[in-house]
Amino acid sequence: MLLIAAAVALAGEGMWLPEQLPSLEAELAEAGFALPAAALSDPLQPPMSSVVGLGFCSASFVSPLGLVFTNLHCADGWISLNSTGEHNWLEEGFTAPSRAQELPAGPGARLWVLEQVEDVTGRIQAAAFGPGVKDEDRKRAVDHERSEIVARCERAVGRHCRVAVFDGGASYRLVTSLEIKDVRIVHNPPESAGFFGGDLDNFEWPRHDADYTLLRAYVGKDGKPAPYREDNVPYQPRTWLPIDPTGAQEGEPAMAIGYPGSTNRTALPEELRFEAKIIVPDTLSEVDEVHAILTEEAARSDEARAHLQAPLLSLENDRKYARGIRDNLSATTLLEDKMRLGARVDAAVSGDPAKKAAVDELRATVLAEQARYVREHTVRTFLWLDLLSVAHKAVRWADERPKKDLEREPGLQTRDRERIEAGWADLEETLWLPSEKRLWELVLAKYLAGTQRISTLDAWLERMGGPEGATRALFDRPPLASQAERIALLASSREEMAASSDPWVQLAIALEVGLFAEGRQAGRIAEGVELRTRPVWVDALRDVQGGRAYPDANGTLRLTFGRVEGYAPRDGLQATPRTRVAGLVAKDRLDAYEAPKWLLDAAPTASDSRWADDALRDVPINFVTSLDTTGGNSGSATLNAEGKLIGLVFDGNYESMSADWQFDPGTTRTIHVDVRYILWLLSLDPKAAWILAELGMT
């Protein structure tokens, strides 16, 4: 069982598992929530049951016909897949005139509806810590057991299963979901409204973004999940969220339900130090280099811009996030606080030889892995290249395929092939060979200027006639630029690959033999040690902190609660919690901002709209709360005290960029789009009348 102590929630801190909520009933009631904790504790009952996952974002059903709310930035890649020379739907915005004209989100789009959560800790730990299991074997034993559990689970048609790890291996849970494979785009605003302010406003408050998208889930005529077919029918969910047309009010309680991806609040202080001193500076330097290349290439033609639009948005997000961590760490004592906390844990375990040995071994293992990262990082940047990533994945597939399926590495099993091919299909819209070539030249120059030498890579370069010859060979009509060729490569054996004349395949083999295989083995040994020692650290950390405990985020369903409230970003400044259309109009007067003309034309009528807020005398756009969220929460349903939808999570403020390591109740804020802004924008679009009717908002 997952042993988690009940605790008093401070401000909005806590990404709570559903079953923890009954122990927080007094806090929920005191905060003003009308829903009983028991109702929130069942993930298969509303409102929890209306929340779904996209794999990298969260979403929610809002109609009995499978209509889904999520963020624009969660679906921008799918929208771009439908863009053509005639229509760039991300730039223009899209509204389906009817259900029959909704756009397919593509073969890689998935929507997961939670069906069951089961504790499987005993089974996995029996495999991990059985007689004679050494550190170098432990990770493989855990992977095998997890694969076996997942394989048995996925015998049921249309199911997606995963085993989630809690507290570094202290416990495990099998999460079973219905997997919707036909996802369609119903409506999205133009990016000039959805991403108003672009990178300048990203992670900032005040904000004025229409970061939302409407999708729909489809299934076969038999009601079972099926790949896209024109005659598929809308999925009919068991439950869906009611919408509160009065939106968010200042000071009211709010909660968000979603699938936060990962946090590091139980990490060693040395891990935060490494993040601050190595990872963040490396990320900023590298993202700047790649962003400059893609920006230059995107400016060369409309076709290039369409291909590079989504990658550029992703890079800009990564850069702003890394800057936020850097600046937050500089402006606070977070690192020093974590180091002091680590010293307290060391003191607490010093009287227990077994615990002390485990903590010391964990720290030594982490430091050794950090040193390996530094040694190998430059070479691993070759995997920035999409075509090399494809070739290397195919090489690894060929290595693993002769094994029994359950003996293969996770991610390289039969169940993964469809996902791999779908991911490669997306390259048809995002791969741009001129920028790929320039990235190759960048990473090759870094390698040649560095001190680490990989003998197999150097030998390959020599066979190619040096850097210039290698570049010509790689980019002279590369076969892997074709999806058909990529899929065909998966059918090749390792022997066939070794004999291949494709330079991308030969480069992938050189890197695999020269570095990656050895690195994986070292990583497996380190993970084996961590599976044995990290739970000891986490347990000791919680003892020192007084037992206030919720697991680090790991992609499982969580609820966070707090209030709609502002904050003081700096001394002498107070940020109010809501923005409105008038603020967007004022920003638009600045050169860095450009809202759609139709939106500016409608702005004078906003105060008379049925969606206007009495206190603001305007249509509200965004609001901030004290909720505790992270990546993966994007698109999470934001609910009021009665469990009605008042908005969608889409971002965090700049001051919260270090919150994955530690929550600060004074400055950590989540940014949401108010549902009234969504409804107002829909009301401005004549083609969206049928969507408003489906939402019950006519």
Active site residues: 73, 211, 634
Nearest to 359 by CA among 544, 494, 488, 218: 544
For every residue of 493-531, DSSP letters joined together read -HHHHHT---HHHHHHHHHIIIIIHHHHHHHHHHHHHHH
Question: How far from 379 is each of 385, 497, 583, CA to CA, in Å?
Answer: 12, 22, 47
Whole-number Å distance between alpha carbons of 256 and 636:
6
Whole-number Å distance between alpha carbons of 387 and 473:
13
Distance of CA 272 to the CA centre of its chain: 20
Cis peptide before 206 (omega within 30 of 0): yes
Both tokens assigned to 458: 């150097």
Q: Are 215 and 105 in contact (CB under 8 A)?
A: yes
Q: Are 258 and 637 in contact (CB under 8 A)?
A: yes
670 secondary structure, DSSP code: E
Whole-number Å distance between alpha carbons of 648 and 60:
10
Whole-number Å distance between alpha carbons of 179 and 498:
37
What's the angle, vertex CA 187, arms to CA 183 and CA 191, rounded to 5?
110
Whole-number Å distance between alpha carbons of 334 and 564:
25
Q: Are 254 and 629 in contact (CB under 8 A)?
A: no
**Max CA distance (Å), the chain:** 74
User: Exposed/middle/buried for 222, CB within 10 Å: 0-12, 13-18, 19+?
Assistant: exposed
Q: Are 622 and 579 in contact (CB under 8 A)?
A: yes
**Beta-sheet strands, E only, within 332-391:** none
Nearest to 168 by CA among 201, 124, 134: 124
**Beta-sheet strands, E only, within 79-205:** 94-95, 103-104, 111-119, 159-166, 171-180, 182-188
SS3 551: coil
Both tokens assigned to 267: 């990490």
Whole-number Å distance between alpha carbons of 595 and 418:
40
Q: Torsion angle, CA of 128/133/138/140, rounded to 10 degrees?
A: -100
Whole-number Å distance between alpha carbons of 35 and 48:
12
Nearest to 210 by CA among 381, 390, 72: 72
Both tokens assigned to 291: 């962003």
Whole-number Å distance between alpha carbons of 674 and 446:
46
Cis peptide before 47 (omega within 30 of 0): yes
Which residues neighbour 365 within 8 Å (Cβ) at sequence distance 6 or greater?
526, 529, 530, 533
Amino acid identity for residue 133 in this structure: V
Q: Are 697 and 679 in contact (CB under 8 A)?
A: yes
